[in-house]
Amino acid sequence: MVILIKALQLILALTILVVVHEFGHFITARIFKTRVEKFYIFFNPNFSLFRCKKVHGKWRFAFFSKNVPEKYITHERIDPVTNKKETTYESIDLSTLSSDDWRTDEDSTEFGIGWIPLGGYCKIAGMIDESMDLEQMKQPAQPWEFRSKPAWQRLIVMVGGVVMNIITAYVIFTGLLISQGSQYLPTSEVNKYGIQTSEVARELGLKDGDKILSVNGKYIEDFSHVTMELWLENSEYIEVERNGEKVKVELPEDAVAKIINNSTYLIKQREPFVIDGIGEGSIAQQVGMQKGDRIVKINDIDVPYFDDFSRNIVGFVNQNVTIAAIRNNDTLTFDVQLSSDAKLGVIPASLLERKTQEYTFFEAIPEGFHKTGKELSDYWKQLKIIFKPSNKAYESLGGFISIGSIFPSSFNWIVFWHWTAFLSIILAVMNILPIPALDGGHVLFLLYEIITRRKPNDKFMEIAQMVGLFLLLGLLIFANGNDVLRFIFK
């Protein structure tokens, strides 16, 4: 059930973002009087779950139907001299079709829902895209086609999708700021008890109980941003307070690689183990523990913090132990017979105070711009790190499983919209990369055309599109392959 809930959230988020992205292409194309032949949610090879089109002023609908044939008849022959296959395309005389045939109204767009729930597409007339509609490109260019429009108009159409994704992220972020504000754990709060370190953090020179003062001389207000600052900014040192003294921890050259490929947390807050809740029928209830008890010892082992307790208690599975706790300045002891999971059945209290910044409508507008800009900047930096082989960041690249895992196991609209906004940023950045088959590839060729006043020929564009599709397919296989390997060998 958890997998299903995560998968449904992923599909819903991607559907929203792809529709928004393709609408950016659609609306800009229509502004410049370019025909948009199809606008589909999900992909629809051979048949569609639903499709509709306004034909000569009247809307027509079809459910679970085969796709309408194209407007060309394909002829193939083998050249007797070269022995190569030749393909020619003959336009269908639309006047011979019945008036209710959808193909007879060429200026109207066919909208539909496909059956493969991944993405969607917007098919613009006279454009070499992933549809690879070579029949149309063989015909003489028409004034309502994409290829006939000025380069500056085609450029606007191509960036329309990316712009819409950025706008969507901004709107979501701003809406969340208005409704929820901004909540975070201040580093100053964490410094009350210091940090809990992972094995990788200890390799970098950090220790349990360190209090973070600065990263590369910069104070980080939001504790959750400390790790991001370390690897995104390629930081050289961390200043901490250790046993009452200021210590400068120099980071090794491979710090970024270690942080990126770390499969668990790097650092997190630590707190005393104070009981906040006790499960009905739990071991803790049976021995008389109460809410507010602070656990400090297991036998003769001091466990002043929750992480100390968690690390030591697993060594006593199925054993009888004495646990000491402080209650109202009195120290009490409990004889506990642990089970195979060594759990007491309690909920630890959070003693650190999170800070909430509330925003009015007018305050959220500029803050939304700031947050969107920061997310864009941070993701660009992440991409630069991924393409740097020495960091081995490519090993942490993930596909649909990794993306789906960011969503919670139970549906929460606030969390859902947060991650949808973040995915919108990712979609915008990835699509603007200068790779053929992506929007950025088309933008690159259009900029070349504007600067040189020379338009790349259609054959070159077809080849570039195919190369780009193969590159994207390879990246897709690699990323999802990483997911599968991590799932098998985790």
Partners of residue 482 on adjacent β-strands: none
Pseudo-torsion of CA 313, 315, 321, 325, nearest 10°? -20
- The 10s digit of each residue's pLDDT in 388-438 is 766 666 666 666 666 667 777 788 888 899 999 999 999 999 889 888 878
DSSP 169-232: HHHHHHHHHHHH-EEE-BHHHHTTT-EEE-HHHHHTT--TT-EEEEETTB--SBGGGHHHHHHH
Cα(167)–Cα(17) distance, integer angstroms:
11
Q: Where are the beta strands (DSSP E) in 381-483?
A: none
**Strand arrangement, sheet containing 237-242:** 211-215, 237-242, 245-250
Neighbours of 70 (CB within 10 A): 14
Token reading at 74? 């394909």
Cα(94)–Cα(20) distance, integer angstroms:
33
Which pLDDT score is estimated for 405?
72
**What does each C-alpha distance from 288 to 96, 120, 296, 299 come to in angstroms?**
88, 59, 16, 17
CB proximity list for 265: less than 8 A, separation 6 or greater: 198
Q: Which amino acid is at 283?
A: I
End-to-end C-alpha distance for the chain, whole angstroms: 21
Which pLDDT score is estimated for 245?
92
pTM over 0.75: yes
Region of 205 please: left (phi>0), alpha (psi -120 to 50) or beta: left
Q: Which amino acid is at 280?
A: E
**What does each C-alpha distance from 110 to 14, 103, 120, 124, 131 come to in angstroms?**
21, 10, 13, 11, 15
Token reading at 365? 């507008």
Which pLDDT score is estimated for 70?
63
Cα(434)–Cα(367) distance, integer angstroms:
30
Q: Which amino acid is at 116?
A: I
Per-residue pLDDT of the chain (490 residues; tens, 9 = 90+): 777 888 888 888 989 999 999 999 999 999 999 999 899 998 888 889 999 988 888 898 989 988 766 665 666 677 776 777 766 655 666 666 666 777 777 788 989 999 988 778 898 988 876 555 556 566 667 888 888 899 999 999 999 999 999 999 999 999 999 999 988 999 999 999 999 999 999 999 999 999 999 999 999 999 999 988 888 888 889 999 999 999 999 998 888 888 887 778 899 999 999 999 999 989 999 999 999 999 999 999 999 999 999 999 999 999 999 999 999 989 999 999 998 888 999 999 999 999 988 999 999 999 999 999 999 998 888 877 777 766 666 666 666 666 667 777 788 888 899 999 999 999 999 889 888 878 888 899 899 889 998 888 777 777 777 777 777 777 777 666 766 666 666 5
Contact predicate 342/314, CB 8 Å: yes
Which pLDDT score is estimated for 242?
93
Contact predicate 352/269, CB 8 Å: yes
Cα(176)–Cα(316) distance, integer angstroms:
45
Contact predicate 42/113, CB 8 Å: yes
Neighbours of 56 (CB within 10 A): 10
Q: Which fold has domain 183-261?
A: Pdz3 Domain (2.30.42)
In 3D space, the residue among 121, 106, 118 whose CA is nearest the CA of residue 54 turns out to be: 106
- SS3 assignment, position 99: coil
Q: Which amino acid is at 383?
A: L
**If you count them, how many residues does the chain have?**
490
Residue intervals of the chain classified under CATH 2.30.42.10 are 183-261, 273-348
CATH number of 273-348: 2.30.42.10
Residue with tokens 């729930």, as numbered in its chain: 117
